[in-house]
Each structure stands twice: as structure tokens, then as C-alpha cells.
Structure 1
Amino acid sequence: MNEAESIDVTPARPSGMPAHGISFGEAVRVWARVAALSFGGPAGQIAVMHRILVEEKRWIGETRFLHALNYCMLLPGPEAQQLAIYIGWLLHKTKGGLVAGILFVLPGLVAIMALSWIYAIFGNVGAVQALFFGLKAAVLAIVLEAVVRVGKRALRNNVMVALAAAAFIAIFFFHIPFPLIILTAAVIGFIGGRSGLAPFMTGNGHGKVGGKQVADADTALGEDIPAHARPTVGWSLKIAAIFLALWFAPVLGLLALFGPGNVFTDIAVFFSKMAVVTFGGAYAVLAYVAQQAVTTYGWLKPGEMLDGLGMAETTPGPLIMVTQFVGFMGAFRAPGTLNPLVAGTLGGLLTTWVTFTPCFLWIFLGAPYIEKLRSNKALSAALATITAAVVGVILNLAVWFALHVLFRELHERHGFGMAVDVPVLSSINIPSLILTVGALLAVFRFKIGMLPVLAVCSVLGLLYGLAIGAV
């Protein structure tokens, strides 16, 4: 071999550049783009990430993408945001996960906060009420569509259908707490999976996500496991201590300063509990949040919960951002010595902090052990039964919304250990019914997208308000 042949002409990798060749600055720009396009709930958000990260950028392959998604589906919290944290961490360690997760939430945080201010200041203005009158019909149609979508994925046999029905009966008729329903479903699925029973061996329902199937070997990340992704006890203890401190510091501080019963303490404790039981996505947990926020704490009225969901549906970011609106309104209405808007802002930010900080903990602590989780059939069966139960919970949410959207008056009836809200038929809201039927036709018959349906229903609500002189 002569001297010319022995010279390495491969361009030198810049100092500090990861082996996969993706700079941190480029990743920040891409995560900002993903965040700006994260409309449409978790299905739409996951599809956006797949299109950009797998098909367009080829940073990560199909199998690895689904591997991460399957793990995130095992966790409480918004799976789309956790998927962003996971991939960001896989590419650029902890700082990558932090940037990806924070950027994913940031646009929604700003948008919901601005809308909450407008709602608090102008909520009684006729135009605002008419606008949200139209939004409620669209939101009801979208929640019903979520029931169908998740049901098609999860209810693959009669056992899963029965679990979904049992979950609906438990929460709708007997008001069994949402966390208990999820825990029971998980135990049933885990036992069924360990026993090898066929109905429980259904997997998690995730198959092909996008149009192009990209092999892991053909991507920047490749098939190898990065050094930082290998679990160590020291790392696990360190990251757990940091994020548990970040999560619980404001909760314990508020308890020490104000004690139980203060609105900020209630917000911190309630949404911290919610953060560990939010399996199945935002639609599933909203019934639990609505039940507690409306009936237990009195932070909202039933119709206002729908207004908040309408805000979350029309802004980028996880749908669970609706909880920020709940926290805002709760503190706004019980501000103590603070200005109501200042109290509301602090309440909303506190809600967001205790809702999303655990998401980083789940990923940074658990992702290094993902291979063990992925091969565990009992855990996969537990996930399948949780998802089936979630269908029943979302159906409960849809029925709850429908009763409050379509009827002006409900009476609670008791018997056989049950408590059921029965509508007064003479109080049916005909304009709302017409608008809801139109939204349902748009979603189910004509397959019109979520944002156009929300926009058209809002405009029709505004026109109705003008017609009756409410605006």
C-alpha cells in the first residue's frame, strides 16, 4: 500500500459531536418544529414525530420508534410528550430529553394561559359564551370519536369488551375512583398474562405508524445502544433523587406553609396524585379530573370543563394541558390575599409543574431498562387490559359531557348502591343538539379533521349568539 492509499480522507467529526452526527442545535430546532405542529391529540402528535424523525430526518428507525412508544404506553401521563423525551434523551442524553419534553409542552402552556386570562376576564361576555357554546358540541363529537378509535385498537376479543363494559359501569353508575379501576385492570391483565391466557396476549395495539418503514440500521442512531442508555444503579438513584425533589419540593412547601385546605395545596396534592394514575391519555383521566374539580373542590362548573377541553383541542401540545386551565380557575376563584389573575396564573403554573415533572422522571429512570420491560409478556397483558378499561372510562366521559351539553337540568337518582344523573327531557337544548348532530356527521360520516370541525362549530355558535341577541 502506498502513502496516498493510507491517508484517511473521512471528514473529522467536530469536537463534542455525538457519534450519530446530529448536533444538539439541530435537534433543538427540530423539537421546536415538532412542538409547533403538535395538534390533534396523541395520535396526531405521534404521527408528526414519526413523519419528521423517522421518515424525513431518519434519526431513528421504525422498530426503535415503536419500542420507545410501547414503553411510553406503559406509563402514566401523556405518551406523546414522553416519547419526545425518550427520543431526545436517546440522542443527546439528559439535556436532549429535557429540551424535547419542555418544548413539547411550552406552546400549549403559553396558549392555555393566555386563553385562561381571556376566559377569566371576559367569560361572561356574550360573544365568548357563544363561541364556547359551539366548541362544546365539537368537543363532544371528538370525544365520541376517541371512544371509537381507542375501542377499535383495544377491544380485540370478548374479554376486553367485557372489561371495558365493567369499567364504564363501575365509574358511571357506582362512581368507583378512576385509579382503582386502572389498578384493578392492571392486576387482571398481569395475572392473565402470567397465566398465558389467550385473550390477554393481545399486545398493545401499536403496529405500523407511518407511510414509510425505515430500518434501524439505515438511520443516524443505528441499532447500537448508546453508552449513556445502559442502566446503572448509581445513575438511577441520582436521577430519581433529583426529579423526586423537583416534583415534591413545591408540594411539601405548600403543605408546610398553608396546610391542607388551601387552594394551592389542594392543586399541588391533587394533580400530583393524578400524575401517577393518568394511564390511557387525557380523555381517560378527564372524567376523573372533572369529577373532582367540579363536585369535590368546586373549582369549575360542568360546562367550564368542556370549555377548557375546547381550549386544549385547539392549541398545540398534550391534551392534558386542560389541567392548567382547571388549576388557573380554581386559584382564580379562591385567591386569598392575591390578585385573582395573579393567583390564577400561579395555580396554572403549579398544575403544569406537578403534572409534567413526573414524566421526565419516568423516562430518565425507566428508559435504560426498556429492553426488560419490552420482553415481559405479563406487563404487555397488563397494558392491554388497562387500555380496554380506558375505553369504558372515555365512554363515561362522553356520556357525562353529553348530558351537560344537551340538557339544561339533571336530577341525581339513587338506588341499589348507584347514583346516576338522569336528564330532565323537557330541558333538552335543541340548538346544542342540532349543532352536536352536525359535528358528529362531520367527524364520522365525512371524516372531516378535528380543527376544521372545532372552527366551524365555534363560528356557528357565534352566529347563533348573534341571532338570539346574546352577543
Structure 2
Amino acid sequence: MTPSQESTRDGAAPPVSPPAYTLWQLVLYFIRLGALGFGGPVALAGYMRRDLVEGRAWITDGDYKEGLALAQLAPGPLAAQLAIYLGYVHYRILGATLVGIAFVLPSFFMVVVLGWAYVHFGGLTWMQAVFYGVSAAVIGIIAISGYKLTVKSVGKDKLLWAIYLVLAAVTVITESEIAWLFLAAGLLAWFRRAPPRWLKSGHLSALVAVSVPTGVTLGTLDWPLLSRIGLFFAKAGAFVFGSGLAIVPFLYGGVVTDFHWLDDKQFVDAVAVAMITPGPVVITVGFIGYLVAGLPGACVAALATFLPCYLFTIIPAPYFKKYGKLPGILAFVDGVTAAAVGAIAGAVIVIARRTIVDVPTLLLAVATVLLLLRFKKLSEPMVVLGAAVIGLAVFPLLN
């Protein structure tokens, strides 16, 4: 029996065996994954299991499952949070910090370079042609992702369907995301499924009423540009649940509708950049920040987005085994997830009616949906690459 399998007679936790890898080996692994890992959060999480649990045996299956559960529970990008937790397992805060940076930096550098090229050469026909095709494919990718998220997250639960439909309708009507509605959805599911003992009649409406002016005030502060960028993207990182694509409707509401930092075409191009680069999809915030305020804007946007998910991982990590499966917490997450998926469905309609501008773009979007439904193992980057080639061929003929 190994030391890690033994237990003390007084019931204390068993001694922890030394890790089979160094911190720098783990950091180098995540640099490589951040530079070459395509396919979105589900694929990235699968790579981590394949390589770190089954291949190298650096992480136990139990530690991996705990990290995955925590990543699903907390707001923020799933793949980045899972990576941070795996860094925390044996090397605590230092490991979590270095792994998080290593995982995000490669794709951040790529989107900054693409942002520079977009700003300086965006007027060139070839770049317009590439994004003409890619933007249409992105609509199809978001649509199919929204469908999959709906099936997995909402299921047959009537309460979750009600939350989903309300958020979808609000997103379509207002063309923006209202952060307090996500919190309200979580509280509604919590109080409905696992009401706390202190809950009294009327408390729910009071809590929701208090939440309303908070979101409005945060959106109207007259701070310098970088401060506003930091505040907005920190809110995005703190309130968005689900996969990286869950942040898309939230960003659209702020970046395009509220602040008017980008127009519709630029925003869809930003999502397209995230699709054609490896690493977490949410790294599109770096591209958006660059378009708004150059390199400082990219750095502030990325830091503000990932800092909440970092904190939401390392702070509860020591207590997650004990409290992570409480009915109230699970119900709250289900409610917020249903709201996020509903917002994605609404955002597909909002963005599509501005991006699908002619028959070729319509055909590209539909073809993307059909291909992803038909070929389950087809990677999104391959679809985007094919759309870019089609754009290069078709755009010059139409313009």
C-alpha cells in the first residue's frame, strides 16, 4: 500500500505523495496545449484527461473530476479554469498561477498579432474576403453550439426551459445582455428547487429588485477608456457561465450595443479570430481590446476577463470536496446555465440577421450547421479554414 492510500487511525487525511512531475514540466505542457489545442473547451478538457491522467499519470482521475466539476460550477471559461485547478493540485497557488498564464499566453499573442494585422491591413481585399467567409461560418458554429448546449443543459426541466426562453427573448428584443438576469435566474432555480430555511415570502422579489440598479450603474460609469474596458470585461469574466461561446452574447451587448466600441461586422470578425486560433475561445477578448485601445486595451481586457475565473478557482478549491455538491449550489448553477444558453440562442438571431447579407453567406452558415451535425468529429478550425478559402474565392466576384 502506498502512502497516498494509507489513512491514519484518527481519521486524518492520508499523506500526499510527491508529484511525478515538476512544475516546469506542467507549465511547458500547457504552453504547448495553448499553442496547438484546437476544438473548444470540451476538446481541450479531453486533451488534458488524455495527456495528464491517462498518458503521463501526473494527475489522478479523482483530481481531474474535481477540477472539471468546479470548472462547470463557477463562472468563466471552462478549459482555463480546469487548467488552473490542475496546476493547483500539487503546486497550489504558484502552480495555478503559472499554468493559467502558460495556457492563455500563446493564443493571446496570436490574437494580438491578428488584431494588429486587422487594424493595419483590414482594408485589403484578401482580409475582407477571408472574414466574409469566416464570419458566416461562425454564425453556423455558434448556432450548432447553442443547440448542443441547450440539449445538454436544459433537458426536459420546465423551469429551466422557462428561464431559457425568457433570456432568449430578452436578448433578441434588447440586443444586449443584462447581467442581473443571470443572477436572478440562478436565485430562482435555487429558491425553487432547494429553498434555504431563512427564505420568507417576498424575499426573492426584494433580491431581484436590488440587483436591477446595480447592473445599470456599472454600465453608465464615466471612467477613462481603459478603466471602462477593465470593468466591463471583469464583469464578463465574473458573470458568464458555460463554455467559451457563452460569453459571446454578453460581449455583444456591451461592446456593440452599449459602448459602441465595435460595429456588428467587427464583432463577428473578433469571434471568428477566436475560432481560428488555438486555446480558449474566450481569448477573443484580447482581439476586441486591441481594436478598441491597442495593445494596452488587449492586455487590460484579457487580464480583467481571466482574473475572476482564476480567483473563482483557487479560492474555493480547498473547500470544493466538502461543499460542491450542496443542492442549493447545484440548483443555482443550473439556473444560470439555462439563462446563459438562452442568451446564446437569442444572440444567434441578433448577430445572424446582420451577418447573413446575401445568398453565399446564408449557404455558408447553413452548410456549417449541416456539416457539424453530420460529421461529429469534424473540428471547428477545419470548417473555418474551408470557409476562409471559399471567402477568398467568392468575395472578389461579388465586389
User: Which TM-score band applies after superposition, normalised by the shorter structure?
Assistant: 0.7 to 0.9
Identify the residue that residue 267 of structure 2 maps to in structure 1.
305
CA contact (8 A) 1:37 1:48 kept: no
Separation of aligned partners in 2, 1:282 and 1:119 = 22
Q: 1:174 Cα deviation (Å)?
A: 4.6
CA distance in 1, matches of 2:387, 2:20: 47
Residue 4 of structure 1 is matched in structure 2 by none
CA distance, structure 2, for counterparts of residue 178 and residue 42 of structure 1: 24
Q: 1:451 — aligned with what? A: 381
Q: Distance in 2 between matches of 1:18 and 1:32?
A: 26
Q: Does 1:81 align with 2:80?
A: yes
- Give every structure 1 segment of 4 or more consecutive aligned residues whose post-TM-superposition deviation is greater than 6 Å: none
Q: How many residues align?
A: 358
**In the TM superposition, what is the alpha-carbon distance from 1:309 to its structure 2 partner?**
0.7
Contact map agreement 1:178 1:285 (CA 8 A) in 2: no
Deviation at 1:170, TM superposition (A): 2.5
Which is worse superposed, 127-136 or 187-196? 187-196
**Change in CA separation of 1:145 and 1:176 when aligned onto 2, cut-off 3 Å:** closer
State whether residues 130 and 391 of structure 2, in contact with CA within 8 Å, keep that contact through their aligned partners in structure 1: yes
> Equivalent residue for 2:208?
none
| Separation of aligned partners in 2, 1:466 and 1:166 | 41
Name which of structure 1's ranges 67-76 and 126-135 shifts more when overlaid on structure 2. 67-76
What is the TM-score with the length of structure 1 in the denominator? 0.72
Equivalent in the alignment of 1:438: 367
Tell me the CA shift for residue 261 of structure 1: 4.3
Would you say the 8 A contact 2:84–2:97 is kept in 1? yes
Q: What is the match of residue 321 of structure 1?
A: 283
**Residues 1:405 and 2:381 aligned together:** no
TM superposition score normalised by structure 2: 0.85
What is residue 205 of structure 2 aligned with on the other side? none
Assess if the C-alpha contact under 8 Å between 1:186 and 1:382 holds in 2: yes
| Amino acid aligned to 2:34 | A
* 1:355 shift after superposition: 1.4
Pair 1:174–1:465, CA change in 2 (3 A):
closer
Distance 2:78 2:368 in 1: 27
Structure 1 counterpart of 2:70, one-letter code? Y
Moved more, 444-453 or 77-86: 444-453
CA–CA separation in structure 1 for the residues paired with 2:154 and 2:261 = 35
% identical equivalent positions: 28
Paired AA for residue 41 in structure 1:
G
Q: Which residue number corresponds to residue 182 of structure 1?
A: 182
In proportion to residue count, which structure has more helix? 2
Shift of 1:260: 3.2
Counterpart Cα distance in 2 of 1:124 and 1:298: 21
Partners of 1:324 and 1:311 lie apart in 2 by 10
CA separation of 1:174 and 1:116: change in aligned 2, threshold 3 A: closer
CA contact (8 A) 1:275 1:358 kept: yes
- CA pair 180-18 structure 1, distance change in 2 beyond 3 A: same
Which amino acid is 2:80 matched to?
A: Q
Q: Is the 8 A contact 1:193 1:379 kept in 2?
A: no
Q: Quote the residue 1:255 is aligned against.
A: none
Please say which structure displays the higher CA radius of gyration.
1
The answer as to whether partners of 1:267 and 1:350 remain within 8 angstroms in 2 is yes
The one-character-per-residue Cα deviations of 1:160-217 (angstroms, maximum 9, x if unpaired) are 2222112212222256743122101110121133149xxxxxxxxxxxxxxxxxxxxx
Maintained 8 Å contact 2:276/2:381: yes
Cα shift at 1:394 = 0.8
Question: Distance between the aligned counterparts of 2:292 and 2:182, measured in 1?
Answer: 26
Is 1:464 aligned to residue 388 of structure 2? no
User: Does the CA contact (< 8 Å) of 2:274 and 2:281 recur in 1?
Assistant: yes
- C-alpha separation in 1, matches of 2:292 and 2:27: 34
Q: Does 1:353 align with 2:303?
A: yes
Aligned to 2:43: 44
Which structure 1 residue ranges, 5 or more long, are not aligned? Answer: 1-16, 197-258, 332-343, 408-428
1:26, CA displacement in angstroms?
A: 2.3
Task: Specify the code of the residue in structure 2 equivalent to 1:466.
Answer: P
How do 1:215-364 and structure 2 match up within 5 A? 260-331=222-293, 344-364=294-314
SS of equivalent to 2:316 = helix
DSSP-derived class of the 1:276 partner: helix
Secondary structure of 2:371's counterpart equals helix
1:97 aligns with 2:59: no
SS in structure 1 at match of 2:240: coil
* Residue identity matched to 2:318: P
The 2-side partners of 1:177 and 1:435 are apart by 27
The alpha-carbon deviation at position 285 of structure 1 amounts to 2.3
Shift of 1:353: 1.4
Return the letter of the residue paired with 1:464: V
Query: Does 138-147 or 273-282 show the bigger shift?
Result: 273-282
Alignment partners' CA distance in 2, 1:41 and 1:140 = 15
Question: Quick check: 2:33–2:279 contact (8 Å CA) kept in 1?
Answer: no
Residue 390 of structure 1 deviates from its aligned partner by 1.7
Q: Indicate if the aligned counterparts of 1:71 and 1:373 stay in contact, CA closer than 8 A.
A: no
Indicate the residue corresponding to 1:70 in structure 2: 69
Checking the alignment, whether the CA contact within 8 Å between 2:176 and 2:250 is kept in structure 1 is no
Q: Distance in 2 between matches of 1:261 and 1:92?
A: 38
Secondary structure at the counterpart of residue 173 of structure 1: helix
Q: 1-side partners of 2:304 and 2:109: how far apart?
A: 17
- 2:172 equivalent in structure 1: 172
For residues 61 and 189 of structure 2, the distance between their equivalents in structure 1, rounded to whole angstroms, comes to 27
Cα RMSD, aligned residues only = 2.0
Equivalent residues of 1:41, 1:318 under 8 A apart: yes
